[in-house]
Chain A
Amino acid sequence: MKLVVAVIKPSRLEEVRQALNSLDVHGMTVTEVKGYGRQKGHSEIYRGTEYAVHFLPKLKIEIAVDDAQSDAIVTAIRESAQTGRIGDGKIFVLDLLAVTRIRTGETGAAAL
């Protein structure tokens, strides 16, 4: 099993969710995060002080998937989250050791 972790622009969440839905992925966890890569921040001015804000708001999506589905999901995320401009984000794929459904106690692929 794999854990797919994607950091995307907040405005792309709905597109990504719909794209994953069409691949029969019906669950995900979303966290609000801050980050930067090649996209520079912006500056804010309050009276006499100017601040350079380096960290930009992003969303982190985490999905637990079957090995077989992992590539298709990465592609789907990439296509739906992309805007073409700097700051679109990155997708990471990690090895997932175990999954348990809390309500029923199922483990492994049945719990995905």
Chain B
Amino acid sequence: MTGFKTSKILGTAALASLALAIPAFAQEAAPAAEAAAEVVATVDKGDTTWMLLSTILVIAMTIPGLALFYGGLVRAKNMLSVLMQVFAAFCMIALLWVIYGYTLAFNGPTEGGISLFIGDFSKLFLSGVTPSTTAATFSAGVEIPELTFVIFQLTFAAITPALIVGAIAERMKFGAVMLFLALWFTFSYLPIAHMVWFSGGYLFGLGAYDFAGGTVVHINAGVAGLVAAVMLGKRTGFMKEPIPPHNLTFTFIGAALLWVGWFGFNAGSNLEANGLAAQATLNTITAPAAAALAWALAEKFVRGHASLLGAASGAVAGLVAITPAAGFAGSMGAIVLGAVAGLVCLWAVITLKPMLKYDDALDVFGVHGVGGIVGALGTAIVAAPSLGGFALGDPAAYNIGSQFVTQLIAVVIAIAWSAVVTAVAMLIVKAVFGGLRVTESAESDGLDLSSHGERAYN
């Protein structure tokens, strides 16, 4: 597998490598930059503000966005268990991130060996990270405070395991959920984030494009959800008795919060406040808009009604698909990518899932997994300068076909890695807890009562 296709892409990727955060390196890069050229590294208050704001937006995506989105889709007796799993996952991962997640994902040597897959412990407990240390951005000489990068990435690390909650909802022991997510975060999220976003990472070295985490977040979590759901088994009564959502109004509120927060997710991944952040913001409006309408319209033809759940799900599918392409797609490319994702994810949810009969309770694979794959592969196309895209390197040298192959390699590796880690983690957790599922009577009473001793509605 060769890395770079042209020396031009190599050059720009090397520059982007400064960007994709070796913060300690950024300190050393400052004198190098001064020596190399005219550029003096500066930290701008506008960029800093933008990163802090983006961080807060992404937190809102998880709490309460994702929590409500999922909560409304389950039965009333399990509402609190979903809120609790998402909330507790966020809190737990936030702590693990600052202890060892950040150092392993975004630090370490850049010269081959194990550093292709994971970082080192140089910043364990955020050692060396202070309010004055900096991280590089995609622009030469433009830096942001390292702490803003740490917390921005924290929100990504936290929402990704929380996504998996949707697949295993309504039947898993709470302690088992927490241990599983901690293991999965450590052995799947951290390595894949490192491989895709760290300059020494294997997939970064191949030239794979993932602006805001289509592979790192969505494919990663989507596949984990599928494998976990299959290993966990179906909910009692699945496909035999009706299990309708108990409050689609909550699901709508959650979807809207996800969309609004996603501006921080996608445009914040630009690491600075400039025109490309604005482009990413625009793409984050048009792609989900196209996807929502595409899903709703297709549903009208295929099922007879355009449903709110369909429109909201379509919007999320579009958001997932544009995530890897947010800063690479042109304005029209984003619309096309969104519409395609809306239709493909609709197919995955109404045809693929019933066909394969797995109980991915809230369609984590159908929307995030499939949407992420569509987005990752579609990025190769929409990034093409000839199609209005913003591929790195010399526009004349961009080759859709070879970038597509690179994206495909990254997708396959992420799928395989996440699947294996999920399977092993589930087996470990099963052994530790003597079983993954609650008892049948606990499941029937509802997890709110049996796992948490409370009722959502009195």
Q: Which residues of B contact A48 (CB under 8 A)?
A: 349-351, 353-354, 363, 366
Stretch touching chain A among B207-215, B283-291, B305-313: B305-313
- Residue among B244, B309, B310, B354 facing the most chain A CB atoms (10 A cut-off): B244
Q: Which residues of A contact B310 (CB under 8 A)?
A: 47
- Residue among A46, A47, A51 facing the most chain B CB atoms (10 A cut-off): A47
Complex formed: what's the CA distance from A46 to B243 in Å?
9
Q: Which residues of A contact B349 (CB under 8 A)?
A: 47-48
How many chain A residues touch B (Cβ–Cβ < 8 Å)? 9
A contact patch SS: strand
* Minimum CB distance partner of B355 in chain A: A48
Distance (Å) between the CB of A34 and the closest chain B CB?
Answer: 13
B245 within 8 A of A: yes
Q: Is the CB of A45 within 8 A of B303?
A: yes
Distance (Å) between the CB of B115 and the closest chain A CB?
Answer: 42
B453 within 8 A of A: no
B401 within 8 A of A: no
* Minimum CB distance partner of B304 in chain A: A45
B contact patch SS: helix
* Minimum CB distance partner of A53 in chain B: B242
Q: Is the CB of B305 within 8 A of A46?
A: no
Complex formed: what's the CA distance from A48 to B307 in Å?
12
* Minimum CB distance partner of B248 in chain A: A46
A44 within 8 A of B: yes
* Minimum CB distance partner of B313 in chain A: A47
- Contacts A45-B305, A45-B307; A51 near B313 (Cβ below 8 A): no
Complex formed: what's the CA distance from A54 to B245 in Å?
17
Q: Is the CB of B244 within 8 A of A47?
A: no
Which of A44-85 touch B at CB < 8 Å?
44-49, 51-53
Which of B230-256 touch A at CB < 8 Å?
242-245
* Minimum CB distance partner of B362 in chain A: A47
Complex formed: what's the CA distance from A45 to B244 in Å?
9
Complex formed: what's the CA distance from A41 to B353 in Å?
26
Distance (Å) between the CB of A88 and the closest chain B CB?
Answer: 26
* Minimum CB distance partner of A45 in chain B: B303
Q: Is the CB of B363 within 8 A of A46?
A: no
Q: Is the CB of A47 within 8 A of B242?
A: no
Q: Is the CB of A51 within 8 A of B242?
A: yes
Complex formed: what's the CA distance from A68 to B349 in Å?
61
Q: Which residues of B contact A49 (CB under 8 A)?
A: 243, 354
Distance (Å) between the CB of A47 and the closest chain B CB?
Answer: 5
Distance (Å) between the CB of B96 and the closest chain A CB?
Answer: 32
Q: Which residues of B contact A52 (CB under 8 A)?
A: 242
Complex formed: what's the CA distance from A79 to B354 in Å?
47
Q: Is the CB of A47 within 8 A of B309?
A: yes
Q: Is the CB of A46 within 8 A of B244?
A: yes
| Chain B residues within CB distance 8 Å of chain A | 242-245, 303-305, 307, 309-310, 313, 349-351, 353-354, 363, 366
A-B contact list, 5 entries, CB within 8 Å: A44-B244, A46-B245, A47-B349, A48-B351, A48-B363
List of 3 A-B pairs having minimum Cβ-Cβ separation, nearest first:
A51-B242, A48-B350, A48-B349
Q: A44-B244, A46-B309 given; name 15 further pairs at CB < 8 Å.
A: A45-B304, A45-B305, A46-B244, A46-B245, A47-B309, A47-B349, A47-B350, A48-B350, A48-B351, A48-B353, A48-B354, A49-B243, A51-B242, A52-B242, A53-B242
